[in-house]
Amino acid sequence: MNLSPQTQLEMQRRMLRIRRFDERASKMVKRGQIPGTVHTSIGQEAQVVGACMALGEGDYMTGNHRSHGHPIGKGSPLGPLMAELVGKATGVCGGKGGSLHLADFSVGSLGESGIVGSSIPIATGAALSSKVLDNGHVSLAFFGDGAANQGCLYEAMNLAGVWKLPIVFLCENNQYALSTPAHTVTSGVIADRAAGFGMPGVRVEDGQDVLAVYDAVHTAVRRARRGEGPSLVEVITYRYNEHSEGLKLGTDYRDQAERAQWVERDPIVVFRQRLVDDGVATAEQLDALEAEVIEEVDEAVQFTNDSPFPDPSVAFKDLYTEPIGALA
């Protein structure tokens, strides 16, 4: 795969946007500046960005509780995302969604789901409309290794298979579902499940390599775009932080040495080195890129702070498209 320097720099920028945004969100939730909980994608940026960059602008995407990375990876502006996490009126969902329910339809992000597995059918439906309307859009469903044991995934894979829907099922295998190691609750290999449902299944063993992820997903997206149907891509990766931050539900029982090994292969550090080695950018250029991203995150926080909370009456809006009784 020969990617333009521009594209490669954009990958690094998006990974940084996720990293810095989530680091900030993590701090804010611990300080009580974000209510509820957040699930960060720190450590998984290559997997998220490699997948998102393989999609076109008009393409659709759904995600899960580990939610910020997906819209950021798809190019969503940070201000309304951060404002949403805090519950401000300027949030991307007007403050109604919060961290677990980000959606930015302007970039094809059809919604993150707090219910594990539950958004996979939605992405399948978006692929169905692309097919019926013949508009060339591809769908991608992000879900975790934990979600890979929800039955709806297999219903979706089968349906997409028989109807040759343009969809990529993307399993973010960060090897844990909350406290539970994937290998203790997964019989067989996730990627291998594709074959029984009549579609290619690939496993990206090095999910910390953004280009490896991009390659695998790009192949799947092209196949979908050609009308040949769905694919399953499983990406092995790792989250650095707690499963969920802010709630103080149990702590993590992962081995700290295991974590340290993964941190050593940090996707952003690795790719930065590669960009320098390949002569795509200089260290100074990459520092500047990083500074830009930090500023963007600062601005998002500023935007959030400057924004009002929604009026209480907003709770009664948006349930239906037209008023039903006092509800609008």
Partner 1 sequence: MTVMSYLGAIGAAQREAMEADPSVVIIGEDVEANVYGTTGGGKSRSDKGDFLQMFGSNRIRNTPISEEVIVGAAAGAAMTGLRPIVDLSYSSFLYMAMDQFVNQVAKNRYMFGGQASMPVVFRSAMFYGLNTGAHHSDRPYPMFMNVPGLKIVVPATPYDAKGLLRTAVDSDDPVLTFEACILWGTKGEVPEEEYRIPLGEARTVRRGDDATVVAISSAVPAAIAAAESLAEDGISVEVIDPRTLVPFDTEAVIRSVQRTGRLVVADPAHRTCSAAAEISAMVAEEAFESLRAPIVRVTTPDTQIPFSPSLEKQLYPSGPRITEAIRRVIGQPTSMPSHGARDMDQLATQAPR
The distance of Cα 22 from the centroid of its chain, to the nearest Å, equals 12
- Residue pair 130/138 in contact by the 8 Å Cβ criterion: yes
- Least Cβ distance, residue 191 to partner 1 (angstroms): 17
- Residue pair 145/188 in contact by the 8 Å Cβ criterion: no
CA dihedral 143, 144, 147, 149 (to 10 degrees): 120
Which residues have C-beta within 8 Å of that of residue 317, sequence separation ≥ 6?
328
d(CA 224, CA 137): 9
Q: Is 65 in the site for ligand TPP (CB under 6 A)?
A: yes
Of residues 172 through 201, those in contact with ligand TPP by CB under 6 A are 172, 174, 176-178
- Least Cβ distance, residue 317 to partner 1 (angstroms): 7
Total residues in contact with ligand TPP, by rule CB under 6 A? 15
Q: Contact region for Mg ion (CB under 5 A) — 100-108, 167-175, 246-254, 314-322?
A: 167-175
Nearest residue to the partner Mg ion, using Cβ: 144
- Least Cβ distance, residue 153 to its own copies (angstroms): 7
Distance set, CA 213 to CA 142, 188, 206, 311 (Å): 13, 22, 8, 43
Torsions phi, psi for 109 (to 5 deg): -85, 105
- Least Cβ distance, residue 126 to Mg ion (angstroms): 23
Q: Using CB under 5 A, which of 145, 234, 266, 296 touches Mg ion?
A: 145
Q: Is 84 helix (H, G, I), strand (E, B) or coil?
A: helix
Nearest residue to the partner ligand TPP, using Cβ: 144
Q: Is 114 in the site for ligand TPP (CB under 6 A)?
A: yes
Nearer to partner 1 by Cβ, of 11 and 103: the residue is 103
Nearer to Mg ion by Cβ, of 117 and 144: the residue is 144
Nearer to Mg ion by Cβ, of 90 and 174: the residue is 174
Can you list the alpha helix ranges (DSSP code H) found in 57-96?
Answer: 69-73, 78-86
Nearer to Mg ion by Cβ, of 177 and 191: the residue is 177
CA angle 319/71/30 to nearest 5° reads 85
Nearer to ligand TPP by Cβ, of 121 and 136: the residue is 121
Q: Is 234 in the site for ligand TPP (CB under 6 A)?
A: no
Nearer to partner 1 by Cβ, of 135 and 282: the residue is 135
| Torsion sign across C-alpha atoms 77, 290, 272, 42 | negative
CA angle 319/169/111 to nearest 5° reads 20
Which residues have C-beta within 8 Å of that of residue 256, sequence separation ≥ 6?
none
- Residue pair 141/182 in contact by the 8 Å Cβ criterion: no
Q: Using CB under 6 A, which of 85, 110, 116, 120 touches ligand TPP?
A: 116
Q: Is 145 in the site for ligand TPP (CB under 6 A)?
A: yes
By a kind-dependent CB cut-off of 5 to 8 A, residue 200 interacts, out of partner 1, its own copies, ligand TPP, none, with: none
- Please name which of 17, 4, 41, 11 lies closest in space to residue 244, comparing C-alpha atoms: 41
Nearer to partner 1 by Cβ, of 108 and 267: the residue is 108
Q: Using CB under 6 A, which of 66, 68, 137, 193 touches ligand TPP?
A: 66
By a kind-dependent CB cut-off of 5 to 8 A, residue 268 interacts, out of its own copies, Mg ion, partner 1, none, with: none
- Least Cβ distance, residue 95 to ligand TPP (angstroms): 21
One DSSP character per residue, 149-210 reads GSHHHHHHHHHHHHHT--EEEEEEE-SEETTEEHHHH--S-TTTHHHHTTS-EEEES-TT-H
Residues lying near its own copies in the complex (CB under 8 A) are found at: 149-155, 157-162, 184-190, 192-199, 201
Residues that bind Mg ion (CB under 5 A): 144-145, 174, 177
Binding residues for ligand TPP, rule: CB under 6 A, are: 65-66, 114-116, 144-147, 172, 174, 176-178, 243
